[in-house]
Structure 1
Amino acid sequence: MFRSLFRVLAVCGLSSVAVAQSGIPAYTPTPVTVPNTASYLTRDGKIQIVGNDGWEDMMAKFDALFIQTHPGFKRELLPVMKGSSVAIPALQTGVSAMAPMARAMWEDDRFAFNRLRGYDPVDIHIGYAAFGPRDGRKSPPGIYVNAKNPIGGLTIEQVRQILTEGAKGGSITRWSQLGLKGPWAKRAIHIYGLDEGSGGTLAFRSQFLEDRTFARTYEALPKAADIGEAIADDPYGIALMGFFDASKLPSVRPLPVATTPGTPFLLPTYENVSNENVAFPAYLHVYIDREPGKPLDPFVKEYIRMLLSESGQAIIASQRDTDEGYVPLSPDKIGTELSKLD
């Protein structure tokens, strides 16, 4: 088995170091065909997959792995990596076999898909979209403060109490409520973030803030750079940031967050992300079109089975030192994602 895996990894430009962790199923290819009637075929019969541009290198390796492990497969694969914003519309209209994305689907895309199809796309997690902090490269969405702020960290519930209205235990509006002394003791917490109606902000609020309304003092700024500058200039500020490289702003630092009271405050380092031991996991998503009660397209099922195998996860592991910094899925989550294919 491992000799076969090493040959596959060599084809994909990987080394044996990238072999995925134990507990991840080995990939046993199953023959599959795609009928000429498949809507995602181009005019010349290629299988089109439209998705996130950051996946380009990884998709090339996935496609090479699929072709290598299916020697009798007659179709060519055509990845069209133009960005997450076009992935769901392409899936919705049937011109893409699946929608690979480095962020969660936004609500307007979900609404449009559901209005046309009568159901939501199925969301498969195959890994994580980032880790950090990394100098010169993005970190996943999280909470940031001024570097002078002495606070050691927050729990996720405290984050909700600061950022939103109606949180359990009441709102936290002053630094003294978090035990800070000195000049912070009498100061209000200044909250910064992106437009409350932006797709990324709405997605974060839905996933991690129990979909509650943002606090009245939440100050929305146009761009991530504006938020970073505001925190750098404001020792009493706190910010909700999306994917962001804070290394250019030495006056800003990411704040460790604990998932529950009494557990450690943790940053989204590679180890913590790979074990999904983080408050705000940012997944690599593959959305698929599956009508409830009907079987999944055989090609789509086989391809995603490959992504969730040790061979597919090894390809994701190869992205660690790239600009994207993708991370394989925690092994104990693989079974849950595979079950979505049945």
Structure 2
Amino acid sequence: MRLALAFLALLLPAPGAGADADSSRANIPAYRAAVPVMGQIRLSGSPADRRLIEALESGFASHHPDVRFSERLHGPESTLAAVYTDVADIAFMAREIREPMERMAFEWVKLAKPFSVEIANAGFAIDRPAHQLAVYVHQDNPLQALSLPVLEAIFGARPTRGVRKLESWGELGLTGDWRERPIKVFGPELDSIDALFFRRTVMHDSRKWNPGYREFASADALFDALRKEPTGIAFAPFVFHHPDLRVLPLSARENGTYYAPNRETVIARTYPLTRSLTVIFHRPPRESAPPAVAAFVRFLLSAEGQAIIESESCYLPLDGETIAAQLRRLGT
């Protein structure tokens, strides 16, 4: 399986990509207060998102002054529980839901699935639970890019995407001294949210990891180990520059287009490991969300709400197509 250098011509951003992204965001609708809403909206979330949540509350209150807010910002691990224990109306999720435990807990209590709406793309702030991930190799490694099927064949014990398990760099087309070198696999702890996302996105939710997978409790420890091991490969939070390491562009499929993680490819959802930020609330089947909750979520998906999200710098806005899909999901 050989990766041609021709992939370099396919990397984004392509000419005009930024203009296309700006055009897509220009199509995001302005918020209109269709009907007056009042009462209290109780939010749960992470203390790291306090400033953003308060800015969104303030923006919404300018349209609906009779709505009051309260917050329970105790951290990402308690955010969803606050909704199914009825101490919050909306969970401002700073990470993916833990499957199956959190979903099952929600269903057991509410007798309904948690209802989620995407409100932003994860950004590049490594201190936030919702951050973009990247695949790293040592700077001496000549590998230029990877597809998700190949990535699964490296990190998984039983690949499902049609690529057999890969154990040496020669099997990826590297030659010379690299041909016989074994692939050493690094990553975050397997019960971490980052590993959960990677498992779902790359490995079709398989729990059969490469038995040689080395777990690290922190990104710094992982980066330090990879820097000392030229035959290693790792997935970890994206950082804009790390000495001695390179970020690999990725493709969702074999022989596809390879994309590096950046603002444009995340907003366009062309980077295959793009993560999103969601809000979750209780909406029984065949029923509408409470009026105040629905109005607040519509505000988050408006041009004004997205501008507030973007201004806080920790997350990236959605494009117009994704906004439209989320509004349809919400039922507006």
TM-score w.r.t. length of structure 2: 0.84
Within 2, Cα distance between the matches of 1:307 and 1:334?
Answer: 10
CA contact (8 A) 2:187 2:222 kept: yes
Q: Which moved more, 1:58-67 or 1:253-262?
A: 253-262
Within 1, Cα distance between the matches of 2:138 and 2:114?
Answer: 39
Instruction: Tell me the CA shift for residue 204 of structure 1.
Output: 2.5
The unaligned stretches of length 5 or more in structure 1 are: 1-17, 36-45
The residue that corresponds to 1:225 in the other structure is: 220
Q: Secondary structure at the match of 1:85?
A: coil
CA contact (8 A) 1:89 1:113 kept: yes
Task: Specify which of 329, 336, 339 is matched with residue 328 of structure 2.
Answer: 339
The residue that corresponds to 2:303 in the other structure is: 310
Within 1, Cα distance between the matches of 2:44 and 2:213?
Answer: 36
Aligned residue type for 1:229: D
Instruction: Tell me the CA shift for residue 119 of structure 1.
Output: 2.5
Instruction: Tell me the CA shift for residue 29 of structure 1.
Output: 1.1
Task: Specify which of 118, 128, 132 is matched with residue 125 of structure 1.
Answer: 118
Task: Specify which of 158, 162, 179 is matched with residue 166 of structure 1.
Answer: 158
Aligned residue type for 1:186: E
Within 1, Cα distance between the matches of 2:139 and 2:94?
Answer: 29
The residue that corresponds to 1:234 in the other structure is: 229
CA contact (8 A) 1:316 1:327 kept: yes
Aligned residue type for 2:37: T
1:16-27 → structure 2 map (5 Å cutoff):
21-27=25-31
The unaligned stretches of length 5 or more in structure 2 are: 1-21
Runs of 4+ in 1 over 6 A off after TM superposition: none
CA contact (8 A) 2:167 2:183 kept: yes
Aligned residue type for 1:24: I
1:129-148 per-position Cα deviation (integer Å, ceiling 9, x unaligned): 1148x9xxx96122111122
Aligned residue type for 2:119: I
Instruction: Tell me the CA shift for residue 63 of structure 1.
Output: 1.0
The reply to whether residue 114 of structure 1 matches residue 118 of structure 2 is: no
Instruction: Tell me the CA shift for residue 203 of structure 1.
Output: 3.3
Instruction: Tell me the CA shift for residue 193 of structure 1.
Output: 1.4
Q: Secondary structure at the match of 1:302?
A: helix
1:208-252 per-position Cα deviation (integer Å, ceiling 9, x unaligned): 3201221122222333222211111110001122x35474x4022
Percent of aligned positions that are identical:
27
How many residues align structurally?
303
Q: Secondary structure at the match of 2:279?
A: strand
Instruction: Tell me the CA shift for residue 69 of structure 1.
Output: 1.3
Aligned residue type for 1:303: F
Q: Secondary structure at the match of 2:234?
A: strand
The reply to whether residue 182 of structure 1 matches residue 171 of structure 2 is: no
Within 1, Cα distance between the matches of 2:68 and 2:81?
Answer: 22
Within 1, Cα distance between the matches of 2:73 and 2:284?
Answer: 25
The residue that corresponds to 1:66 in the other structure is: 60
Task: Specify which of 281, 286, 289 is matched with residue 288 of structure 1.
Answer: 281
How much is the aligned-residue C-alpha RMSD, in angstroms? 2.3
CA contact (8 A) 1:98 1:300 kept: yes
Within 1, Cα distance between the matches of 2:24 and 2:298?
Answer: 15
